[in-house]
Amino acid sequence: MKALYDKLRTAQIDEQLINAFQNDSDIVYTGVIQFLSDKDFIMLTYNDYGIQDGEVYLKLSSVKSVETDSYDLANMEDRIEFDEKHHLNSQPAFDLPIKMSDSLFDRVIQTLHDESKVGLIITEEAGKLKYNEGLISEIHEDGMTFTNINKFDFSKRPVFNIQFDDIRGIEFGGTELQLLQNVLDMVKPENHIVNTIISDPTAFRDVVTKFRNSGDWLVIDTNDDRKYFYVGKIISSNHNELVMMVVDMNGRFGGYVWIRYDDIARLITDSDYLRVIDKFVAENKSNKHFALSVLNSDRAFDNADNILINIITQSIQYQKVIRFETADEENFAGYPTAINLDTGVLTVELLDVDDDGELPTQQIGIENIREMAFDYFKAFLTENEID
């Protein structure tokens, strides 16, 4: 434990960027140490794109290791430098006044309670970390009463006790938590609605056309085993394919995705979560935070017979990165460099080439492409040689 503390202390003094690896979790926190004691610490955290986003409190006992020098950190420093140069850090800092004599844990808990701020409490249960978003209702001598906020299902609002000894970390002040704070009046059991789900493939085209015309939000669940889904607006479609403008969990522009209808398992056209996202987007647009200034969230697509070919052709012309998902569930990103319209074969210059002899280019039949993502921020960083 002393070796870990010494490493953290050196990183704090030198204002080093660090990666903090947790016990029992694959989640890694990247940031700079703001406060440090012999038991715990608080760090300003950066998201995957190098944008400062919130803070995290961690107990030293919950940290497996700390990294201060690596290829990943060097890449992150490049992203942070780029973001700061282009003024992409717009998230206001969380006000956490701390004196040298304060217990860091007590200060974080007390501030979240007294100011009724939404936080994310990390606890350990059966050797695994559990994450709960919500409010600290009461503070006791050895624990607290916590009200869980469920943005996916308003009807679920459990209240339970958490022992202080079970807490491994606390996230606070991040974009999503602050946005959730501002919609608490809506996220209540009495406002819960049952999800409207369309799972009949023969209805997908009509529903997509309707939502393309209305501009309303919807969720697309794909028919594979991935753990994420797409939320956004349909901006282009025809009989075989569609393009969605995607938003991320913070209600901010996340690029575009092209999808074939046979890639879709179901559409969710109304839900508690869609209403949360609608509020997030409205607030972001009001504050001019919806899209980073270097991205184009107003790209137009026509509804021609072959949207796929148009996207690929433009990508080749302007040297744009596309992330592909194929029919055999292969996932890779790269620069399309050539397409043979007679054979339907696309050549892609890969971004990630491993040591097993994988070729730096890959050829795929366009009929084998089921999904393409493009114009998202990570692609922009790659295109500008920042990643």
Summarize pLDDT for 80-97 with one digit per residue, the tens.
Answer: 998 888 877 656 666 666
pLDDT tens per residue across span 36-69: 999 999 999 999 889 999 999 999 999 999 999 9
pLDDT above 80: residue 298:
yes
pLDDT above 70: residue 359:
no
What pLDDT does residue 151 have? 97
> What is the pLDDT confidence band of residue 100, given thresholds at 50, 70 and 90?
low
CA distance 264 to 65: 41
> What is the pLDDT confidence band of residue 228, given thresholds at 50, 70 and 90?
confident
The most distant pair of C-alpha atoms in the chain lies apart, rounded to whole Å, by 74
Structure tokens at 362: 């890959």
What pLDDT does residue 98 have? 67
The answer to whether 252 and 291 have CB atoms below 8 angstroms apart is: yes
Structural domains for the chain? 2-181 (no CATH), 196-286 (2.30.30.100), 307-383 (2.30.30.100)
Nearest by Cα to 247 from 261, 233, 267, 265: 233
Q: H or E stretch including 36?
A: strand 28-36
What type of residue is 142? D
CA distance 68 to 94: 25
Nearest by Cα to 258 from 380, 378, 377, 371: 371
Across 170-196, average pLDDT: 96
Structure tokens at 161: 């006790």
pLDDT tens per residue across span 259-283: 999 999 999 999 999 999 999 999 9
What pLDDT does residue 281 have? 97
CA distance 295 to 249: 17
What are the beta bridge partners of residue 268?
197, 219
pLDDT above 90: residue 330:
no
Question: What is 336-377 written as a DSSP string?
Answer: EEEEETTTTEEEEEES---TT---SEEEEEGGGEEEEEES-H
251 or 98, which is more confident: 251
Q: Which residues contact 273 (CB under 8 A, 6 or more apart)?
A: 151, 152, 219, 231
Across 156-175, average pLDDT: 95
DSSP H helices in the chain: 2-13, 71-85, 104-114, 175-181, 204-214, 272-286, 307-318, 377-383
pLDDT above 80: residue 287:
yes
What pLDDT does residue 99 have? 64
What are the two backbone dihedrals, phi and then psi, of residue 319, each rounded to the nearest 5 degrees?
Answer: 55, 60
pLDDT above 90: residue 220:
yes
pLDDT tens per residue across span 361-382: 999 999 999 999 999 999 999 9
What pLDDT does residue 2 have? 84
> What is the pLDDT confidence band of residue 124, given thresholds at 50, 70 and 90?
confident
The answer to whether 167 and 121 have CB atoms below 8 angstroms apart is: yes
Quickly count: other Cβ atoms within 10 Å of residue 270's Cβ. Answer: 16
* Mean per-residue pLDDT of the chain: 92
Q: C-alpha angle 152/155/161, rounded to 5°?
A: 95
Strands lying side by side in the sheet with 264-270: 196-198, 264-270, 218-222, 230-237, 241-247, 253-260, 369-374, 322-326, 331-340, 345-350, 361-365
CA distance 68 to 53: 20
pLDDT above 80: residue 70:
yes
What pLDDT does residue 14 have? 94
What pLDDT does residue 352 have? 73
